[in-house]
Amino acid sequence: MGAGIGGLALAAALREAGVPCLVFEQSHRLAEVGAGLQLAPNAVRPLHRLGLGPALDTHAVRIEAMEFKRRTGRTVARTELGLACELLFGAPYYSVQRAHLHEALRGLNDPDALRLGHRLVHTEELDDRVRLLFADGTTHEADVVVGADGIHSVVREALIADRRVFSGLGVWRGLVPVARLSLAVREPRVRLWMGPGGHVVCYPVAAGELISFAATHSLVAPLAESWSATADPARLRGGFAGWDEAVEELFHAADHVRQWALHDREPLHRWATGRLTVLGDAAHPMLPFLAQGANQAIEDAMDLAACLARSRPETVPAALRLYQSLRAPRTTAIQRMSRDNAAALHLPEGPAQRERDDALHRSAALRNRAWLYAYETGMARKTRTEPSATVQSAAGSHGTARRGPTGD
């Protein structure tokens, strides 16, 4: 199923529930790439239940507030987080370096259950099992297959023949040591600058030692889609010249920048066959404009683990149908809101932009995030656990403005 954040979260949740699981991953070594991500309370609560509290306290940053700004630096809305978030939603709002979260999730899993160097090329569903065919010619059979194999998912192909959708946008990402920045830029806040044709998000990660940034811009044609594609920092600086001085300071301090195009897919209407399903980006790849990609993968993992923990081999198809009913409406709504926010964040000067800013200001209160942050996953509901089918994995590759766009 792939050993990314969603796949490892599922494996950890299944292990806690006593469900045997193997994780097949196409890479020959596990080394998560990428910059930072935001973890909202809807994902932090289940991560705490899995035992990641100490790791998050060590490596993540508790965010005190989220600020929405014009490109000039004028603040149009601010959502207080910090202690208020913990009191209202039972968990903090974190920012974390992706590699640190990935490493912590790996630590929850049995190393012997991770099978590296297995690139899935085909799935064949039989009456009571699924056969996996890997690129090296080997096969494996499983009671259940869960594809956590990303936006290029091979497992998804068993459900639908669809294509990725290019958003017309690209993103520059990078990490900057805080020692190179002024004190104001280091504060534990998520800051988002909105401007015609682009927007910028930044926040601290790595226990506050680094600032992660993402700068989104328009693209005429898609770039090669790779998390390891490097870019010239001078192009980033030129693309956002004249923005708030904090943005220019951040970009001038960046030595290494990565750039890629942003894609998603249309919402998936069928998540499962009898013994095969998907989660995370394989199920609902979404643009990063609600900062919910990793959060929704973690929710998927917990809900699916709860469904499978209550199942027996003969009831697996019903468990997968239940999983779809729990997840599809919510993730479809979040996918669509993320798309809508791409336009809202980049509005030109004028009445529509002012209307957006007014809506953000009116909805900035933290309680308005309850629809997103208060969601409880199945593992929190703790229903009775019964002996279950063995779960195997398939190899993988590695809203609107009033809802509060945040970006990854």
Active-site pick, 94, 203, 323, 373? 203
**Token code pair at residue 167:** 């958003």
Contact 175, 222 (CB under 8 A): no
Contact 386, 312 (CB under 8 A): yes
- For residues 397, 335, 157, 127, the Cα torsion angle rounded to the nearest 10 degrees is 110
**Token code pair at residue 367:** 């309680």
- How many whole angstroms separate alpha carbon 25 and alpha carbon 227? 17
H/E segment holding residue 150? none
Contact 191, 67 (CB under 8 A): yes
Q: Residue 59: what residue type?
A: H
Q: State yes or no: is 373 an active-site residue.
A: no
- The residue among 18, 278, 41 whose CA lies nearest residue 145 is 278
Question: The tokens 């750039």 sit on which residue?
Answer: 259
- How many whole angstroms separate alpha carbon 347 and alpha carbon 364? 19
**Token code pair at residue 374:** 């208060």
Give SS3 for 394: coil
Contact 406, 190 (CB under 8 A): yes
**Token code pair at residue 23:** 């994780």
Q: Partners of 193 in the beta sheet?
A: 69, 200
- How many whole angstroms separate alpha carbon 170 and alpha carbon 105? 29
- How many whole angstroms separate alpha carbon 394 and alpha carbon 7? 10
**Token code pair at residue 27:** 């890479």
Give SS3 for 121: strand
**Token code pair at residue 120:** 């899935």
- List, by residue number, the catalytic residues: 203
